Chain A
Amino acid sequence: MNQSIKVLSNLVKSSNTSRSLINAGSRRSVLFKTLNTNNTVRNFSTKQSKIDKDDEKTFDYTDKLVVQKLETYIPCYTIMNQDGIVSKPEQDPNFSQEVVTKMYKTMVLLNTMDSILYDVQRQGRISFYMTSFGEEAIHIGSASALDMGDTIFAQYRETGVFLWRGFTVDDIVNQCCTNDLDDGKGRQMPMHFGSKKINLQTISSPLTTQLPQAVGSSYAQKLAGEKNCTIVYFGEGAASEGDFHAAMNFAATLSTPTIFFCRNNKWAISTPSKEQYKGDGIAGRGPNGYGIRTIRVDGNDIWAVHNVTKLARKIAVEEQVPVLIEAMTYRVGHHSTSDDSSRYRTVEEINYWKETKNPINRLKNYMVRKNWWTEDQEKAIVAESRQLVRESLMKAEKRKKPALSEIFNDVYSELTPNLIEQQKELEEHLKLYPDEYPIDQYAK
């Protein structure tokens, strides 16, 4: 392992001639072109000749000494009640029976998969899992309002968004079982998905880092002149990190097509939202704090979430500005398989949300009202979902584990001498102890 100096010099050399630099060069000229034609991008070098008196236009001067307090709270947009009745018919997105059925089935599939994989973790067959119980309407309501060209940055409790975009149960199960079909090559914990196919940037564990990154991603979209946006999902707990504030301020000042989607599920592990922040929640920070257009929405009402996300996307893409959405919901499950939430909250509280505000039942009631759904169909799709997940698990568990070479691949764009040396060391070690490593169970 005393190759470090050689490795370093090698890295420097290779980066001088690397493809990425050449690409960066040609990309830069594209950027400059856009910079010149697009006057919404700030030109930092322009001197201003007139005196800036904007302040005087935005607020009044007064001789009354008043200490401002929080008085008006941002209302929460909701259009469908628990019985599935839409209060104003013109607000019903009016999807066809086929589309609504697909939405409902995806919610049930997510819920069923969560139950099974949670139990599978309890049996020790996977190391970790996180359920989305209670947040299904957020996932499907928002995902159905997006374009496949939009980029997703997620936290970890957004699995339904991925399902809607074509990530399959197999994709999820293979990742959780970390077999040779795991697209992430066995490098990440369960639930930390990433997928080019569905335009999902790989989920990263340190909270809230995805927010400024999403702003960077949408800035790139803006410069490239794309008609797409980046949506970034995060919890109300994560919104306490400094990165939240940095992201909001940059999105506002750079004027980027970013949708900030906060899932306010009232808990961050054991910390209730009332201890996480004061003031008017996450939404309250948007308009006055950062000059960002903001909507608060009932996260258990799939149509409300859909309408809000659709509007936010329209604003973001057409006007090239960020929008903040705060979806009010409840984390019905434990934080993760490492948590026991009965230690810090009551069963009554959980049941209140599970029974009286259940987002899946709400959509089901809507369908029943339209005569689109029967109990037989319900039984059939639950059974179908179970079977799908079980079969997927059976297949996934029989697969080989990732190849040992995956330890060394992708640390850099190519294998460096130091990595090759380590790989050789490992191979020699394996030859020395053939009985201790079941290499036949690893992919080649």
Chain B
Amino acid sequence: MFTLLLKKLNQPALNSTSKWVARSFSTAPKEVTVREAINSALDEELARDQRVYVMGEEVAQYNGAYKITKGLFEKYGADRIIDTPITEAGFAGIGVGSAMAGLRPVVEFMTWNFAMQAIDHIVNSSAKTHYMSGGKVFNPIVWRGPNGPPTSVGAQHSQCFAAWYGNVPGLKVIVPWSAEDHRGLLKSAIRDDNPVVCLESELLYNYKFTLSPESQDKDFLIPIGKAKVERQGTDITIVSFSRIVSNCLEAAEILAKEGISAEVINLRSIRPLDVETIVKSVQKTNRLVTAEEGWPQHGVGSEIAAQVVENAFDYLDAPIERITGADVPMPYAKNLEDAAMVQVQNIVNACRRVCYRKK
């Protein structure tokens, strides 16, 4: 075990910045689903590094509850694509231990809701191993799975854990939206020496995005902790992450027709949080709306609002508004669920209010 560890320690940091630049441009733009993007990222990292392995309920022979790991079992075999008994606390602990011993597990939770059974290993072990060992032991794990409300699955399957994990020092938290995000961030996460929580969205799995030639490269990496401005604007900044970025872009279209130019920021990471990009944008637009699927109290939007008040208060021309899921456990009935979830219209209305426009 120690030889492995030492070998690892001697290695140059795998996520060194030089690798962000794509290497080959031999392919044309390609349309893929988010599911395919995650699958290809896993496939490439499994091929690249023998220490990487995938573990979770039904991930091998069944290809995963949402078919994310399709074809990987056939390609990499039962030693590296591992079906587990139904014991989230068990396989999370095994993930932590194997990472301590030099492996790089990618642990899939059927949904992040079930990771509640395993959260002690994530928060109390994985996030603290490096610190508590005096910097001698690494815990390079990717914890991934669908997060946030899909539809029609009720209170216990519809929660967003961004604020929960975003609160924990020692964890990195990525919240990809596009296919490019999923590829670049997941690959960076697997190569990262720290534990990374990857919050995906079941509703995005079937979404199609165009991958640029660069983002198809097997060494395409997106730095963790950098946000992306998805749409430039001058009148208001909308900050969001994961699935709700789509809603914000739709809202921006509607607002454009009313003469409001909205800038849409896709956070990509919750921790580290790219405060700089947000502040720069607010300095330009002087107005801010945040949008997320989770609950309002102590949410990601609350943190962003606090950061902006601390760092750009003088630039604000209007109070900040947070758009969030309703502050209730998610109901099941379609009519109740629709009313409890973030809709495009909520974002549009918030932006109008913040811009002092009436409709």
* Chain A residues packing against B (C-beta within 8 Å): 1, 4, 127-128, 178, 182, 186-189, 192, 204-208, 237-238, 240-242, 268-271, 275-277, 343-344, 401-402, 404, 406-408, 411, 418-419, 422, 426, 433, 437, 441-442
Contact = CB atoms under 8 A, between A and B. Distances in A.
Contact of B333 (A206, A275, A402): A402
Nearest to B88: A241
A402 B58 contact: no
Interface in B69-89: 83, 85-89
Interface string B145-185: 00000001111110000000000000000000000000000
Contacts of B334: 178, 401
A297 to B, nearest CB: 23
Contacts of A1: 296, 322, 324, 327
Contacts of B89: 241-242
Contacts of B85: 237, 240, 271, 275-277
26 contacts: A1-B296, A4-B297, A186-B331, A186-B336, A187-B336, A189-B153, A189-B157, A205-B154, A206-B113, A206-B114, A206-B116, A207-B86, A241-B87, A241-B89, A241-B117, A242-B89, A242-B117, A268-B86, A270-B62, A276-B85, A276-B86, A401-B335, A406-B331, A408-B328, A411-B329, A433-B345
B137 interface: no
B311 interface: no
Contacts of B61: 270, 344
Given A1-B322, A240-B85, A406 B152 contact: no
A404 B332 contact: no
Contact of B117 (A182, A206, A343, A418): A206
Closest 9 pairs between A and B when the two form their complex, measured CB to CB: A186-B333, A240-B85, A270-B62, A127-B152, A205-B156, A178-B333, A189-B154, A4-B297, A240-B86
Interface in B174-210: none
Interface in B304-349: 322, 324, 326-329, 331-336, 339-340, 345
B152 A407 contact: no
A411 B76 CA distance: 47
A442 to B, nearest CB: 6
Contact of B335 (A182, A237, A402, A408): A402
Q: Is the interface of A mostly helix, strand, loop or mixed?
A: loop
Contacts of B329: 187, 411
A433 B346 CA distance: 12
A277 B90 CA distance: 13
- Assign chain B's interface to a size class: 35 or more
Contacts of A275: 83, 85
Given A206-B113, A406-B336, A128 B152 contact: yes
B167 to A, nearest CB: 16
Given A4-B296, A240-B85, A271-B85, A407 B340 contact: yes
A194 to B, nearest CB: 12
A241 B114 CA distance: 11
B64 to A, nearest CB: 10
A206 B339 contact: no
Contact of B331 (A187, A276, A442): A187
A128 B340 CA distance: 20
B235 interface: no
A206 B156 contact: yes
A258 B157 CA distance: 28
Interface string B260-282: 00000000000000000000000
Contacts of B65: 269
A271 B58 contact: yes
B152 A189 contact: yes
A182 B335 CA distance: 14
A402 B336 CA distance: 8
Contacts of A240: 85-87, 90
A406 B113 CA distance: 23
B293 interface: no
Of B61, B87, B113, most buried by chain A (CB within 10 Å of CB) is B87
Contacts of A437: 335, 339
A153 to B, nearest CB: 15
Nearest to A243: B117
A418 B156 contact: no
Given A187-B332, A240-B86, A433-B345, A426 B117 contact: no
Nearest to B65: A269
A276 B57 CA distance: 11
B62 A407 contact: no
A411 B88 CA distance: 28
